[in-house]
Amino acid sequence: MAQVYHKTSDEIELIRQNCMLVSKTLAYVGSLLRPGITGAIIDQKAEEFIRDHGALPGFKNLYGFPATLCISLNDAVVHGIPSDREFTDTDIVSIDCGVYDNEFFGDAAFTFAFPEVNDDVMDLLSVTNASLYLGIEQAVSGNRIGDVSSAIQQHCERVHGYGIVRELVGHGLGRNLHEGPEVPNFGSRGRGHKILDGLVIAIEPMVNQGRRQVKQSTDGWTIVTRDGKPSAHFEHTIAVIEGKPDILSDHSIIETELKNNEEIKNFSIKS
């Protein structure tokens, strides 16, 4: 189990700056998305955007990952490598972004939909997005990580019958992209690491429309659903401050792009 480092308020502010740049990058990416554009182009634009803001792409070369963004289409859950495949009007695409600056990371993700995505898949996005906030609500001091995990699992599995991925989890974040504690999207209330002020965690439900089982694709990176059905992914980094969760990333600026860009599908997100 990776070590847990509690952060000072100054450190949390540095992480917040990074998470805001991640959010701005995701909103910028949202403004560029349209059927026909490729993940490779989006990735290059995102890298320029981050470097123009004086930061470094947080994922690039980390563990050997080759790109700035993880771009995961349809049945890809996470860790997709940007490619020259053109987006189509029925795709959903999870875009996960990290930055590094001032010796700290920032991390957030959002799943976008193109205009002809069907209602059942849009429901998957809405439910996954809502579960993120149900999890965040539980990140109060005195609770345990299992309270966060259980809230996400209950909503997605028990209420909506989706499959929660078990192999990949949220994580502590700070000077390292991945620190303790692990933040699974399944678990039992009252169990796991105790939540206290200064804890900074990325909460990131990965939810499959069908069964929960996943496998690694032959590229060595992309995680895909075994049954080939679509998967959604939303992520915020949060800090526990004065007993309560403070969301350091910001999906509301992405929501603005959902409204402004007619080439992607608007849906009601919680932010």
Q: Give the footprint of Mg ion on this chain (CB under 5 A).
A: 96, 107, 109, 202, 235
Q: Shortest Cβ distance from residue 107 to Mg ion (Å)?
A: 4
If we measure between CA atoms, which residue out of 194, 148, 32, 28 comes closest to residue 99? Answer: 28
Query: Which segments within the chain are labelled E, that is strand?
Result: 56-57, 69-73, 76-78, 92-101, 104-113, 163-164, 170-172, 179-183, 200-203, 206-208, 214-216, 223-225, 231-233, 236-241, 244-247
In this complex, which beta carbon is closest to Mg ion, that of residue 116 or of residue 247? 247
Q: Shortest Cβ distance from residue 142 to Mg ion (Å)?
A: 24
In this complex, which beta carbon is closest to Mg ion, that of residue 109 or of residue 124? 109
* Torsion angle (degrees, nearest 10) of CA 124, 93, 178, 24: -110
Is the peptide bond between 181 and the residue preceding it cis, with omega within 30 degrees of 0? yes
Name the helix (H) or strand (E) containing 41: helix 39-52
In this complex, which beta carbon is closest to Mg ion, that of residue 18 or of residue 227? 18
In this complex, which beta carbon is closest to Mg ion, that of residue 212 or of residue 236? 236
In this complex, which beta carbon is closest to Mg ion, that of residue 147 or of residue 235? 235
Q: Note the helical H segments in 71-144.
A: 119-137
In this complex, which beta carbon is closest to Mg ion, that of residue 71 or of residue 116? 71
Q: Shortest Cβ distance from residue 116 to Mg ion (Å)?
A: 27
The Cα angle at residue 21 between residues 16 and 27, in degrees rounded to 5: 125
* Torsion angle (degrees, nearest 10) of CA 29, 34, 37, 43: 10
Is 134 in contact with 155 (CB distance < 8 Å)? Answer: yes
Cα radius of gyration (the chain): 17
Q: Shortest Cβ distance from residue 204 to Mg ion (Å)?
A: 5
Residue type at position 140? V
Q: Shortest Cβ distance from residue 54 to Mg ion (Å)?
A: 21
Q: Shortest Cβ distance from residue 36 to Mg ion (Å)?
A: 26
Q: Shortest Cβ distance from residue 56 to Mg ion (Å)?
A: 15
In this complex, which beta carbon is closest to Mg ion, that of residue 87 or of residue 110? 110
